[in-house]
Chain A
C-alpha cells in the first residue's frame, strides 16, 4: 500500500485563500481517485504561503479488475454486424461465446477490464484538479494558458512504499512533476529530494519551513505571549489576525517593539486598527493600566542581528503611520471643538444613494423618526434629536476617512471631547448595532431610539425606491437591518406600532410588503429560538401582528402550551368543533357566526357547554388584555371536557332547523373563543 505525496509550489498565495485551497485539493484529489476505483486509509492537506500539500496514506496500488458481459448479434447475423461488435469489445471471433437466448443463439462477449496502476490514475486526477481548481480569482502568466492563483512553479508528486519511491509522471503546461522541492525563500533556497511525507516534513523544517499552519500559529502565539509577559504586558487576542499572519510566513520569527511615546495618547482603537490594518501587528497592552504600549510583528526570517534591523524598520513605518493618525486626530478634535459645522456641511455633499438624497438628508430623517420613537423606548425626545444629529458626523472626520471601520467609535470620542452627555456619546457608536448575530444589542434608550430609526429609515428608503433584496443579492444589507430591528425590539421588550411607523417615514409611499419582509425575518429569528414554523404562522395570522413583541409572546405561549396535555386538549377541542362547523358551512353556503342562544338548548350537555363558554370568555378577556396568552390558552383548554360530552350526547344535525342552526352557532362560539389566542387552524399534525 503506497503513500502519495503532492506538493504544488507557487509564488506567494494570498493568506486568506490558503486554508480553503488546501481543503479543495484534498477533496478533489481523493474524490477523483476514489471515483477511479482506488482506496486509501487517510488523507491530510497542508498549506504555507508558497505551497499546497496533500499526503495520502495507504493508497491501493491499482484499481480493481472489472469483468463485463456484453450481448452481441445473433448467430448468423450479417458479417458486418459481427465485426463491428468484435471491434467494439476489442476481441476476436474465438473469444466469443454462443448462448441460447429467447430468440435463438446469440454471441456473448466477456470483456475483462484490467485494473489501472495508481500512478496512472493519480496523474490524471492531478492534472484535472490543477486545470479546474476552484480559486476565487486566478491568473495566467508568461506565455502559458494555465490558470493558478499566482504562477505555479513546480510540482512534487511521488508514490512511496517501503521498497521504492516513484515519481508520478505528470506534465502540466511545461511543469514536469518531480521528487524535489525547495526550502525557505531566503534561508534555504536550494532544491532537495524527498522520499515520503515524513521525510518531506522533516527536511522542510531543516530548510526553515514549518509545514503546518496550526504549528506556525502556536509558535507565534506562544512566543508573543512569552515576550510580552516578560515585560509585564499582555498580547491582545485576535484570532483572525493570527490566522492571517501565519499564512504570511513559512518560518515565523516574533519581534516585540515599543510604540513611540508620542503616540500613546491616541485612542486605543486607533492604535489597534492602524497597527492591524496597515502593518498586521498585534497590539500589546500594559497589564496594570490596560493601555496599548507595544506591538508584536512576525518576520519570516532569522537574521544575524536577531531581527534588530527588521524591528527598527517596522518601528519607523509604524511611527510614520501613527504620525498620520495623530495628525488626523488633532485636526478632528479641533473641528469637533469648532462645532462640527464643517462636517455637517460636507455630509450635504455626500450622496447616500442617488434616489435617497445626501447623508445629511438621511440624518434629518433619522432624527425625526428617532424623536417619534423616543417616548416608546423611554428616552427624552430632545436628547434623542440632538444625538441623532451628531451620531454620523464623524463620517466626515479625517480619521474615519482613513479608517472607515472606526465610524461611530470616533464619533463617541468627539462627542465626549466637546462635553456632550455620555448617552449621546454612546449613541454615536452604538446606533450602528446590532451588526451581526454576535453583536451586542444596544440597551441605553437614546441609543435604542437612534439604532431603530437608522435601520427603519434604510428599510423604508430602499423599499420606496424598489431596491429590495432578491435571492442571494442584498447589497444594502437590508435583511441584517430588519433583523437588527427585531433584536432591538426583543432585547428591550418594546411595543412598536411598526405598521404606522413604516408609513410615517416620509419618503415615497410604498410600504407594501415591507411588513411581510419583517415577518419573514421574524420567522427566521423565532426558528433559531426553536419555535415551530406553523406556530409562527398561527400567530402571524392574528390581528395586531405588526407588534412584533406581542407576536413573539403569543408564539412562545403557544409553543410551550402545545407540548402539554392542556395544549393537546385545546387543539383537539378546536379541531372537533371547527371540522364539523366548516363542513356544515360549506354544505349550507353560509357562515354560522352569530347568535347561539341558550334558550334553544335542549340537552344538559348543551347547556353545560353554554355555561362553560360564558365562564371561559369572561376569564380570557382580561388575560388577553394583559398579553398573558398562556393563561388564556389554559383556560380555553378546560372546554375540552364539555365539548367532548356535547359531541357524545348531542346530535348536531337535529331535525329542527332552528335547533341545528343554534348548535352550529354554538360551535362557532367555540371557534371564536379558540381563535382569540391564535389561529389554531394553521397548526399542523
Chain B
C-alpha cells in the first residue's frame, strides 16, 4: 500500500486511522518492549508507506541529514522516498555514559520523501501510533522550527514535534540544499531514537533502556552495548585525539574533494560521462566530522569556527552543484 504520492488529500477513514483513534485491539498499538522493537516498527511502517528502507551510511556523520540519501537526493527533479537508521556522532556531547540524555554516539531515524506528500503530517502521526503512542491520550503538537544547517548551506521550514512537552522529532520542508533551491520540495522527518524510545518505554536513563526484549534468553540493555564505548570515545574525543593529525586530515579531505570535482566530466578511460559526486561528498562528510572532533578537543577558537564551517559549506555547495548535473538529479 502506498500512502503518499498519489495526490489529493487522504480520505476521512484513513485520516481517522492516522489520528490515533485506532482500535486498541490492533496489534501494533501494544507498547513496544525494547529499543530495537521501536526501530523495527518504524522500519515496517515506512516500508508499508512505500519508502525504500536504506541502510546507514558507512561513514561518521553528525546527523541523518548528512546521508547522501537525504542531502543529495533532496536536490534535482527526481521523485524519492527513503527511510533509514543513521548512527550519528557528536563528539562534544560525550559524557562518558553518565548523563541520562546525552551521548556522543546515538541513532537517528530519517525519512525523506520528494515531493512531500500532502498528507505527510498524518503519515508522520501514523508512525507514532505504530510505536504505541496513543493520540487520544497524549498531547501532540507541531511547534514552529526554522531549520538551518550552516555546514550544508541548507534551510527549511517546519516544526519540532512535541509529545507531552517533549521534542520527539523534527519535521522539515527543505527549501534549499547546498545553496540550490529545492524543487520539488522534500519533506524530511528526523526522529531522535533514544529519546523517543526512552519516552515510549518509560525509561529515565538511556543506559537502562532494554535494547532487545528483556525476556530474551540473553537480555541486553543500552548499557551493555554502549557504556564502555561512550567512555572510550569520550576520553579519546576530549583528551587524546591527535589534533595535528586531525588538522592535516581536514586539509587533505578538503583538497581531495576539490580535486575530485575538478576532473573532466568524461572519464578518459571509458569515455563515459561520470561526475564523481559521491566520492567527493564523502570527503565533505569527512571534513565535517573532523571539524567536530577538533571542536571537541577545544582547539578551534570562536573566530576560527565560522571559517571552518564556511570551508565545509563550500565543499557541500560544490557537491550540490555537481549533483544537479547528474542522472540521479533527473537532469541527464
Contacts and interface: CB of A to CB of B under 8 A. Distances in A.
Contacts of A309: 137-138, 164
Interface stretch (B53-61, B114-122, B217-225): B114-122
Contacts of B139: 299-301, 307, 310, 313
B245 interface: no
Interface string B107-137: 0000000011110010000000000000111
A15 interface: yes
A297 interface: yes
Of A12, A141, A153, A304, most buried by chain B (CB within 10 Å of CB) is: A141
B302 A349 contact: yes
A186 B16 contact: no
Contacts of B250: none
A303 B137 contact: yes
A139 B302 contact: no
Nearest to B163: A313
A153 B184 contact: no
Contacts of B268: none
B157 interface: yes
Contacts of A305: 137
Contacts of B288: none
A12 B159 contact: yes
Interface string B141-172: 11110100000000011110001111000000
A318 interface: yes
A313 B139 CA distance: 9
Interface string A175-202: 0000000000110011100000000000
Contacts of B21: 186
Interface string B5-21: 00001001001100111
A330 to B, nearest CB: 14
B314 interface: no
Contacts of B121: 11
Contact of A186 (B136, B159, B163, B204): B136
Interface string A134-169: 000101111100000111011000000000000000
Interface of A is mostly: loop
Given A139-B156, A140-B183, A317 B165 contact: yes
A354 interface: yes
B293 to A, nearest CB: 19
B23 interface: no
A190 B12 contact: yes
Given A279-B165, A350-B302, A15 B175 contact: no
A154 B10 CA distance: 13
A248 interface: yes
Contacts of B19: 185-186, 189
Contact of B100 (A12, A49, A141, A320): A320
Interchain residue pairs A-B with the least CB separation, the first 5: A313-B164, A14-B144, A12-B142, A314-B165, A299-B139
11 contacts: A12-B144, A12-B159, A140-B173, A185-B140, A189-B12, A189-B15, A189-B19, A190-B16, A309-B137, A310-B138, A316-B199
Interface of A: 11-12, 14-16, 49, 137, 139-143, 149-151, 153-154, 185-186, 189-191, 248, 279, 297, 299-301, 303-305, 307, 309-310, 312-314, 316-318, 320, 323, 349-351, 354
Given A186-B136, A349-B302, 16 more contacts: A12-B142, A16-B144, A141-B116, A142-B118, A142-B184, A150-B173, A151-B118, A186-B19, A186-B135, A191-B12, A300-B139, A303-B137, A310-B138, A313-B166, A316-B166, A351-B303
